Structure 1
Amino acid sequence: MTYASLPDQRAVAAPHAPAVADDTLDLDNTAFADAVRRAAATLRAAGVGRGDVVAIKLPNTAVLVVAMFAAWRLGAAATPINPSLTTAEVEYQISDAGAKVLVSSDGAGTSVPVLEADSLTAAEPDGGEPEAEPTDVALLIYTSGTTGRPKGVVLAHANLVSMVSTNASSSDMSESDHSLLILPLFHVNAIIVSVLGPLAYEGCVTIAGRFDPRTFFDRLESSGATYFSAVPTIYTMLLGLPPEVKPDTSKVRFAVCGAAPASVELLEGFEKRYGIPLIEGYGLSECTCSATCNPLDGVRKVGSVGPALPGVEIKIVDRDGRECPTGEPGEVLLRGENVMRGYLNRPEENEKTLVDGWLRTGDVGYLDEDAYLFLVDRAKDMIIRGGENIYPKEIETVVYGVPGVAEAAVIGRPDDKYGEVPVLYVSAHPGAELTTAAIAEHVGTQLAKYKRPVDIIITDTLPKNPVGKLDKPTLRRIDQSA
Structure 2
Amino acid sequence: MHLAAVPEERARRNPHQPCVADERTELGNAGFAVRVRSAASVLRARGVRAGDVVAVLLPNRVEFVVTLFAAWRLGAAVTPVNPELTDGEAAFQISDAGAKVVVGQSDSPLVTVRVEELATAAPDEGPVADDEHAIALLIYTSGTTGKPKGVILDHANVRAMTEMIVSGLELGPADHSLLILPLFHVNGIVVSVLSPLLAGGRSTIAGRFRAGTFFDLVERVRPTYFSAVPAIYALLAGLPETVRPDTSSLRLVVCGAAPMPAELIQRVEERFGVVVVEGYGLSEGSCASTLNPLAGPRKPGTVGRPLPGQEVRLMDARGQLVADGPGEVVVRGPNVMRGYLNRPDATAETIVDGWLHTGDVGRFDEDGYLVLVDRIKDMIIRGGENLYPKEIENVLHTHPAVLEAAVVGAPDPVLGELPVATVTLYPSARASEAELLQHCRERLTRVKVPVRVDVVPALPRNPVGKIDKPALRRELAS
Q: 2:260 and 2:6 mapped to 1: Cα distance?
A: 35
Equivalent-residue separation in structure 2 for 1:19 and 1:168 (angstroms): 16
Q: Which residue is 1:437 aligned to?
A: none
Q: Name 2:45's counterpart in structure 1.
A: 45
Question: CA-to-partner distance for each residue in 1:232-288, whole Å, 9 max, x for gaps?
Answer: 111111111111111111110111111122212211000000011111110010000
2:432 aligns to what?
none
Residues 344, 480 of structure 1: alpha-carbon distance in 2 compared, 3 angstrom cutoff: farther
**For residue 337 of structure 1, what is the aligned residue in structure 2?**
334
Deviation at 1:425, TM superposition (A): 3.5
Does structure 1 conserve the Cα–Cα contact (< 8 Å) formed by 2:86 and 2:445? no
* Secondary structure of the corresponding residue to residue 373 of structure 2: strand
- 1:236 maps to 234
Per-residue deviation, 1:147: 5.0
Distance in 2 separating the partners of 1:146 and 1:346: 13
Could you say what the CA RMSD is over the residues aligned between the two structures, in angstroms? 2.6
Q: What amino acid does structure 1 have at the position aligned with 2:368?
A: A
Question: Residue 318 in 1 paired to residue 331 in 2?
Answer: no
User: SS at the partner of 1:218?
Assistant: helix
Taking every aligned residue pair, what percent have the same amino acid on both sides?
A: 53
The correspondence of residues 440-479 of structure 1 with structure 2, limited to 5 A, is 474=450, 478=453
Question: Retained in 2: the 8 A contact 1:107–1:114?
Answer: no
Q: What one-letter code is carried by the residue in structure 2 that aligns with 1:51?
A: G
Secondary structure in structure 2 of the residue aligned to 1:50: coil
Q: Distance in 2 between matches of 1:244 and 1:2?
A: 47
Q: Does 1:64 pair with 2:64?
A: yes
Q: State the distance in 1 between where 2:176 and 2:445 align.
A: 25
1:186 aligns with 2:205: no
8 Å CA contact 2:231, 2:414 repeated in 1: no
* Superposition map of 1:37-436 within 5 A: 37-106=37-106, 108-110=108-110, 114-145=112-143, 148-326=146-324, 328-381=325-378, 425-428=410-413
- Aligned to 2:377, what secondary structure does the other structure show? helix
TM-score where L is the length of structure 2: 0.81
Runs of 4 or more consecutive aligned structure 1 residues displaced over 4 Å after TM superposition: 465-468, 479-482
Q: Give the AA of the match of 2:18.
A: P
Aligned equivalent of 2:31: 31
Question: What is the CA deviation profile of residues 13-63 of structure 1, one whole-angstrom value per residue up to 9, with x for unaligned ones?
Answer: 000000000001000001100000000000000000000000000010000
- Structure 1's unaligned 5+ residue stretches are 383-391, 394-408, 412-422, 431-462
- Range that drifts further, 352-361 or 64-73: 352-361
State the shift of 1:352 in Å.
Answer: 1.1
TM-score of the pair, normalised by structure 1: 0.80
Q: Structure 2 counterpart of 1:280, which letter?
A: E
Residue 90 and residue 101 in structure 1: after superposition, are their counterparts in 2 closer, same or farther (change >3 A)?
same
Distance 1:190 1:299 in 2: 26
Task: Answer with 100-109 or 312-321: which moved more.
Answer: 100-109
Q: What amino acid does structure 2 have at the position aligned with 1:315?
A: R
Question: For the structure 1 residues 480 and 183, does the alpha-carbon distance in structure 2 shift closer, same or farther, using more than 3 Å as the test?
Answer: farther
Alpha-carbon deviations, 1:368-391, whole Å to 9, x = none? Answer: 232211111111249xxxxxxxxx
Q: CA deviation at 1:127?
A: 0.4
Looking at structure 2, the residues matched to 312 and 41 of structure 1 have their Cα atoms a distance apart, in angstroms, of 38
* Structure 1 residues 170 and 480: alpha-carbon distance in aligned structure 2, compared to 1, 3 A threshold: farther
**What does residue 435 of structure 1 align with?**
none
Cα distance between partner residues in 1 of 2:244 and 2:87: 43
Determine the C-alpha separation between the residues in 2 that align with 1:311 and 1:27. 33
Q: Which amino acid aligns with 1:318?
A: D
Number of equivalent positions: 408
Contact 2:85 2:445 in 1 (8 A): no
The equivalent of 2:394 in structure 1 is none
1:401 maps to what in 2? none
Tell me, what secondary structure is at the counterpart of 1:5? Answer: helix
Query: Which secondary structure does the structure 2 equivalent of 1:89 belong to?
Result: helix
Query: What do residues 205-248 of structure 1 show as CA deviations (whole Å, max 9, x unaligned)?
Result: 00001111111111112112000001111111111111111111
Q: 2 CA distance for matches of 1:147 and 1:303?
A: 31
**Aligned with 1:215: secondary structure?**
helix
Q: Once the 2 structures are TM-superposed, how far is the Cα of residue 358 of structure 1 from its aligned partner?
A: 0.8
